[in-house]
Structure 1
């Protein structure tokens, strides 16, 4: 289905073509990072729609679906910005049930979320499969940190300075805007632009 052409959709079509130029064949993972409430999830959703419009098989996931439960986070100490930035997300589950099986391709099934953070409850896993050529589009805080870097084929950072204490800690270690393939300014979400 053809999307209505707006400045945002036009921008996303250009970006989708750039991603596709890196894509070729097989499985590809695109990561979208940005500070809290920067618009990264809506941006990734819209980018997924544009990639589908261009004929790609796209799967969506968010780091929000890979939070550790509050009880599991408490095992790492008091509730601080440092604890959240280091242990707030279950990166092992992300690798084990999403990234690694997605990379295998074929009929190997993968899961796009393990926890509902709003309810602080595990979700029943929905194992899905996809075609040999597919793009996984993952958004979330801290996804461009160094210890996850080898997981991504294309990196997008949403511009803007961190305002949340956990974001500030992670940005001090490694600013995602400095390692991304593309940095996007969403100050006006209706008219994104490259930085």
Structure 2
């Protein structure tokens, strides 16, 4: 792949998202087992959205990930439990939707046309699917620790995030993500 191809991939994804959600406050989830891959993909998508003059906020669910939004407590990224508490994430989303998520003193309110891109694991679980306008599933070759691998297997088996995603990308080569078309027609 040439270096221009990833840019084309993100431009195409931006076009797809904005075709369906061209106005309003849009919520996008980037889900996958590899925290570095989800973070890098979300950052590239945010850059592509900003190049189209969108106001974009970022929230990384992986501990230590850079985020535009102060985060107090989020679920443990290596465990998948049905009783996981996502109330803090839901509160952030509610504030974003209501334009009350002030993260920049120069912008006291979230503009009417804005995007919140959240990356992390287990975001396309059934309990959270209804809050996203657009979901991306990232897959690829990665080595996970036993506990993390067990959680990922349980998540993909029980929650079918691949089937819930609006777009699927293979990030085996993170520098050149490839769109996976998994149409059933």
Question: What TM-score do the two structures reach when normalised by structure 2?
Answer: 0.77
1:123 is matched with which residue?
none
Structure 1 unaligned runs (5+)?
Answer: 74-80, 112-126
1:185 is matched with which residue?
170
1:100 is matched with which residue?
94
* Number of residue pairs matched by the alignment: 160
Question: Greater share of helix residues, 1 or 2?
Answer: 1
1:136 is matched with which residue?
116
1:33 is matched with which residue?
31
For residues 178 and 158 of structure 1, the distance between their equivalents in structure 2, rounded to whole angstroms, comes to 12
Aligned CA RMSD, in angstroms, stands at 2.5
| Residue correspondence of structure 1 range 1-195 to structure 2 within 5 A | 6-37=4-35, 39-64=37-62, 65=71, 66-68=73-75, 84-86=79-81, 90-96=85-91, 98-105=92-99, 108-109=100-101, 129-160=109-140, 163=144, 164-195=149-180
* Structure with bigger gyration radius: 1
Question: What TM-score do the two structures reach when normalised by structure 1?
Answer: 0.73
- Structure 1 pair 45–191 and aligned structure 2 pair: CA distance change class (3 A): same
Structure 2 unaligned runs (5+)?
Answer: 63-70, 181-185
